[in-house]
C-alpha cells in the first residue's frame, strides 16, 4: 500500500511540475521549483527502497527466511529516508504559508494538496510504527548445537527471568498503545486497570511466535481455502425447505416458526437501541428526512432520558424503529462509560411484555468493555458447577441490574402492566449483557425470556450456559465471527495458522496474491495447494521443524501442535460458551437474485472454531440479522422458487 501511495504521489508531483513549469517561479525566488525537484528525488529514492524491500521480502518461504537476510539493512535504509521526507514536508508547508502569495491559485492549490498528502503519509507511517512495530525485537536466542534431552529440559533461572522481563515489557508497550489510542478517555485508576487487563490479553497473543502481520494474513488466506475445501468435500445434507407460512415443529418439540417470529420482533428493539447511527445507515434516503423534524424537540416532560442524547435524535430513531409511542417508554439511558452501556425499558403492548433492550458496541468505551475478556465469578443460586462469565459484560449486566432493581425501574413498569412478562434483548455486546442480565433476574422473574442476537462466543461457563437454555435463545447468522470469538478459539486459530504456514512451500507474495484473488472472485480452492510437495499425511500429524522455527520459546501451547485431537490440545484459559439454545440461520441459495435463508437449532459446540470468510463481519451487522429474520418470517409465495423437499427431517425452516 505504501509503495502504491508513494508512486501516486510521485506521478502527481511530476504532473504538477510539468504542467506549471512555465510559471513555477511566480514569486521570483525559485523556492517552489527547488521544492518540487527535491520532492521528486526524495520520492524516487523512497520508491526504489520500497521496491527493493518488496522484492527481497518475496524470496524464500515463511519458514525459510534465509533469502530475506538483507531485509534489516533495507529497512534501516528506508528509515533514514524519513529524515529528508520530513524536511521536504516542512519546506512545502513553509512555501504554502509564506512564498505562495501572488502565485496562480491553481498552482498554490496543487502544492497544498502535495504537502497535505506528504503529511498524511508521514502520519500514517508514524501510527504504523507505534501500533505495529515491536520494540522488544525477537527475544529468541541464536540457535545452539543440539543438546541431550535432559539438558534441554533444564531451563536456567536467567533464561526464565529473561522471558518474564520480555513479557512484562510487552504488556507495558501494549498498555501505552491503548492509552494513546484512548487518549480522549479519562485516565483514572479504573480505566488504567482496564487498559492493563486488555494489554495482558493482546501481548499474550502470538507473543511466543515469530510471525509478522503479513504471515498471519497469509495463514488466514490459506485457512479460508482449506475450510472451503473441507466444506465442499462433505456429503450434502438433506435440508427441508418450505414456506415460512406453514408451521413446522423441530425434533425437540419447539415451535421453530413461533420462535422465529418472536426473534424477529425482538430484533427490532435490539436494533433500535443503537439509536440514530444504525437508523440512518439502514435508511440512507428516508432516514435523515424523518429524523430532521424530531431531533430538536424537547420531550423531557414525556419520558425520562439519561445522558448522551442532547438533540433527541437517538430517541426519535427508537420511536421510528419500534413503532411505540412516547408514553410506552419507562426509562431511556444513553449514558455510556466502560462497563456502563445504554439501554431502555418500554412496554411492548403487542407481545404484552416489559421489554429491556441493551445497546451493542457503538463507541470506544464499548470496545474496551468487549476486550475485557477475562473470566469473572458469577455465582447464581440453584446452579451447580463452576459459574463464571466474560468480565466486561458481567460488569455491564451488574450495572443495568442495579438500575432496574435498586432504582425501581422494573417495579414502575410492572405497576403499570402487572400482567405483562419480562423480555430482555440485545445485539452483540448488548446480547451478551442481556443474557447475563437475564441470568441475574431469573430467580426474581421465573417467566422472563431473553433473545440474544449475535452474542459473543466467550460468554458463559458450561454450567451457566446449560442453566440459560430454559429462557435464553441465541440467534446467529451465517459465519458471524463474534459468536465464535473467545480466547480458547483464538489460541486454536493461532495453532492452525502456525501449522498451515509451516506446511506451505509457496512464497508469501504468491499466497497473498492468490488469497486476494480468491476472496474477490472465488474459484476452486484446490488450485491453491497448502501442503509441502511430497509430504506424507502421517508426517503432517507430527510437530514440524518449520513450526518449531516459528516458536520463540517452547511454550506449553506448543505441545498441542502434535494433533488437533490430542489430550495435550488444551487451552490455558477457561472455556466459555454461547448462552441458551442456539438458532443458526444460514443461506439456502438465491431465488431470482434474492437470498433465501434457512434456520435450525444448533449446538454451542458447533461454534468452537473460527471460520474464515468474507462474510464473517457482515453477517454480524444488526441490519443483516434483522433482514434475515424478516425474510424467514414474512409470508411470500413459495412456489416462485421451488426446492427439493424431504419430509424425513423436519428440523429446519
pLDDT at 309 over 70: no
pLDDT at 538 over 50: no
- pLDDT computed for residue 141 by the predictor: 44
Give the number of other CB atoms < 10 A from CB of residue 648: 6
- Which of 6-20, 193-207, 430-444 is predicted least confidently? 193-207
- pLDDT computed for residue 460 by the predictor: 94
**Cross-strand partners of 598:** 586
Q: How far is the C-alpha of 321 from the C-alpha of 497, rounded, in Å? A: 42
- pLDDT computed for residue 360 by the predictor: 95
C-alpha cell at 601: 437449532
| pLDDT tens sequence across 583-599 | 999 987 665 557 788 99
- pLDDT computed for residue 166 by the predictor: 60
Average pLDDT over residues 222-234: 81
- pLDDT computed for residue 136 by the predictor: 54
User: CA 17: distance to chain centroid?
Assistant: 44
| pLDDT tens sequence across 250-259 | 434 457 888 9
DSSP-derived secondary structure for 460-495? B-HHHHHHHTTTEEEEEETT-SGGG--HHHHHHHHH
Handedness of CA 387, 392, 397, 403 (dihedral sign): positive
The model's confidence at residue 182, banded by pLDDT at 50, 70 and 90, is confident
Q: How far is the C-alpha of 639 from the C-alpha of 631, rounded, in Å? A: 15
Higher pLDDT, 138 or 164: 164
Higher pLDDT, 280 or 192: 280
- pLDDT computed for residue 393 by the predictor: 95
Higher pLDDT, 555 or 639: 555
Quote the DSSP letter at residue 337.
B
pLDDT at 191 over 80: no
Higher pLDDT, 21 or 538: 21
Average pLDDT over residues 522-551: 50
Average pLDDT over residues 5-17: 81
As annotated, the residues of the chain forming the CATH 3.40.50.1820 domain(s) are 215-228+255-523+575-636
CATH superfamily of 215-228+255-523+575-636: Alpha/Beta hydrolase fold, catalytic domain (3.40.50.1820)
Q: Are 66 and 60 in contact (CB under 8 A)?
A: yes
Please provide the average confidence, as pLDDT, over all residues in the chain. Answer: 76
Most trustworthy range by pLDDT among 275-284, 465-474, 486-495: 465-474
Q: Are 295 and 312 in contact (CB under 8 A)?
A: yes
Strands 305-306 vs 329-333: parallel, antiparallel or unpaired: parallel
| pLDDT tens sequence across 369-418 | 998 888 899 989 888 889 999 999 999 999 999 999 999 999 999 999 99
Distances (CA, A) of 309 to 291, 294, 313, 317, 615: 13, 12, 7, 11, 33
Distances (CA, A) of 550 to 132, 209, 488, 500: 19, 5, 20, 12
**Cross-strand partners of 600:** 584, 652
- pLDDT computed for residue 152 by the predictor: 43
| pLDDT tens sequence across 42-90 | 889 989 988 888 888 777 777 777 787 888 888 888 888 888 888 888 8
- pLDDT computed for residue 39 by the predictor: 83
Buried b (16+ CB within 10 A) or exposed e, 305-339: beeebeebbbbbbbbbbbebeeebbbbbbbebbbb
Q: Are 305 and 333 in contact (CB under 8 A)?
A: yes
pLDDT at 144 over 50: no
Phi, psi of 414 (to 5 degrees): -80, -15
**Cross-strand partners of 329:** 346
Higher pLDDT, 32 or 541: 32
Question: With the CA atoms of 561, 562, 566 and 569 taken in that order, what torsion angle do they form, in degrees rounded to the nearest 10?
Answer: -20
- pLDDT computed for residue 262 by the predictor: 94
| pLDDT tens sequence across 413-431 | 999 999 999 999 999 999 9
Distances (CA, A) of 326 to 423, 455, 494, 523: 19, 29, 50, 53
pLDDT at 500 over 70: yes
Q: How far is the C-alpha of 559 from the C-alpha of 164, rounded, in Å? A: 20
Q: Are 442 and 472 in contact (CB under 8 A)?
A: no
Give the number of other CB atoms < 10 A from CB of residue 436: 32
| CA nearest to 114, candidates 43, 172, 204 | 43
pLDDT-above-70 percentage for the chain: 70
Q: Are 288 and 305 in contact (CB under 8 A)?
A: no
Give every strand in the sheet of 449-453, ordered side by side: 305-306, 329-333, 343-348, 353-358, 421-427, 449-453, 472-477, 581-591, 594-602
Q: Which residues are catalytic?
A: 428, 480
Distances (CA, A) of 118 to 3, 10, 370: 13, 11, 36
pLDDT at 542 over 50: no
Amino acid at each position: 500500500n505504501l509503495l502504491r501511495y508513494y508512486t501516486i504521489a510521485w506521478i502527481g508531483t511530476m504532473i504538477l511540475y510539468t504542467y506549471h513549469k512555465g510559471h513555477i517561479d511566480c514569486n521570483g525566488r525559485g523556492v517552489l521549483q527547488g521544492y518540487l525537484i527535491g520532492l521528486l528525488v526524495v520520492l524516487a529514492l523512497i520508491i526504489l527502497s520500497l521496491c527493493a524491500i518488496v522484492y527481497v521480502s518475496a524470496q524464500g518461504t515463511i519458514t525459510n527466511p534465509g533469502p530475506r537476510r538483507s531485509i534489516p539493512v533495507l529497512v534501516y535504509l528506508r528509515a533514514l529516508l524519513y529524515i529528508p521526507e520530513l524536511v521536504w514536508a516542512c519546506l512545502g508547508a513553509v512555501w504554502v504559508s509564506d512564498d505562495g502569495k501572488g502565485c496562480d491559485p491553481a498552482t498554490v492549490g496543487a502544492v497544498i494538496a502535495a504537502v497535505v498528502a506528504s503529511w498524511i503519509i508521514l502520519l500514517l507511517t508514524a501510527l504504523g510504527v507505534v501500533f505495529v512495530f515491536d520494540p522488544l525485537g525477537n527475544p529468541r536466542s541464536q540457535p545452539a548445537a543440539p543438546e541431550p534431552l535432559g539438558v534441554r529440559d533444564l531451563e536456567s533461572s536467567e533464561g526464565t527471568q529473561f522471558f518474564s522481563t520480555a513479557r512484562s515489557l510487552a504488556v507495558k508497550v501494549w498498555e501505552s498503545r491503548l492509552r494513546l489510542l484512548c487518549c480522549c478517555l479519562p485516565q483514572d485508576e479504573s480505566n488504567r486497570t482496564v487498559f492493563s487487563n486488555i494489554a495482558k490479553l493482546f501481548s499474550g497473543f502470538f507473543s511466543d511466535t515469530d510471525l509478522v502481520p503479513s504471515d498471519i494474513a497469509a495463514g488466514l488466506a490459506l485457512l479460508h481455502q482449506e475450510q472451503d475445501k473441507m466444506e465442499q468435500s462433505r456429503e450434502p445434507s438433506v435440508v427441508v425447505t418450505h414456506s415460512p407460512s406453514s408451521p413446522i415443529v423441530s425434533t425437540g418439540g419447539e415451535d421453530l416458526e413461533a420462535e422465529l417470529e418472536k426473534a424477529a420482533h425482538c430484533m427490532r428493539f435490539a436494533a433500535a437501541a443503537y439509536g440514530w447511527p444504525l437508523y440512518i445507515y439502514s435508511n440512507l434516503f428516508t432516514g435523515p428526512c424523518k429524523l430532521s423534524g424530531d431531533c430538536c424537540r424537547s420531550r423531557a416532560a414525556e419520558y425520562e432520558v439519561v445522558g448522551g442524547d442532547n438533540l433527541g435524535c437517538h430517541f426519535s430513531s427508537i420511536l421510528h424503529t419500534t413503532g411505540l409511542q412516547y408514553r410506552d417508554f419507562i426509562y431511556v439511558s444513553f449514558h455510556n462509560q466502560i462497563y456502563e452501556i445504554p439501554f431502555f425499558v418500554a412496554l411492548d403492548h403487542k407481545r404484552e411484555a416489559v421489554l429491556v433492550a441493551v445497546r451493542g458496541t457503538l463507541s470506544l468505551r464499548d470496545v474496551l468493555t468487549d476486550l475485557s475478556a477475562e473470566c469473572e465469578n458469577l455465582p447464581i443460586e440453584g446452579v451447580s458447577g463452576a459459574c463464571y462469565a466474560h468480565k466486561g459484560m458481567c460488569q455491564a449486566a451488574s450495572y443495568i441490574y442495579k438500575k432496574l432493581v435498586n432504582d425501581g425501574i422494573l417495579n414502575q413498569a410492572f405497576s403499570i402492566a402487572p400482567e405483562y412478562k419480562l423480555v430482555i434483548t440485545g445485539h452483540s455486546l448488548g446480547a451478551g449483557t442481556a443474557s447475563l442480565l437475564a441470568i441475574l433476574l431469573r430467580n426474581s422473574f421465573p417467566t422472563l425470556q431473553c433473545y440474544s442476537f449475535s452474542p459473543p462466543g466467550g460468554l458463559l461457563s458450561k454450567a451457566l450456559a446449560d442453566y440459560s437454555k430454559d429462557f435464553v435463545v441465541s440467534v446467529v447468522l451465517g459465519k458471524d465471527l463474534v459468536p465464535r470469538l473467545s480466547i480458547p478459539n483464538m489460541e486454536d486459530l493461532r495453532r492452525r495458522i502456525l501449522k498451515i504456514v509451516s506446511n506451505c512451500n509457496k512464497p508469501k507474495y504468491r499466497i497473498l496474491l492468490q488469497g486476494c484473488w480468491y476472496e474477490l472472485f472465488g474459484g476452486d480452492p484446490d488450485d491453491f495447494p497448502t501442503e509441502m510437495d511430497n509430504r506424507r499425511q502421517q508426517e503432517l500429524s507430527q510437530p514440524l521443524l518449520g513450526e518449531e522455527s516459528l516458536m520463540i520459546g517452547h511454550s506449553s501451547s506448543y505441545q498441542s501442535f502434535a494433533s488437533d485431537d490430542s489430550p495435550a490440545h488444551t487451552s490455558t484459559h477457561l472455556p466459555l460458551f454461547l448462552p441458551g439454545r442456539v438458532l443458526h440461520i444460514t443461506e439456502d441459495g438465491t431465488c431470482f437474485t434474492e437470498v433465501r435463508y434457512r434456520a435450525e437449532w444448533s449446538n454451542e459446540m458447533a461454534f468452537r472454531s473460527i471460520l474464515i470468510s468474507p462474510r464473517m463481519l457482515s453477517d454480524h451487522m444488526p441490519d443483516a440479522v434483522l433482514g434475515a429474520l424478516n425474510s424467514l418470517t414474512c409470508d411470500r409465495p413459495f412456489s416462485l422458487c421451488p426446492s427439493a423437499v424431504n419430509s424425513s427431517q423436519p428440523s429446519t425452516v
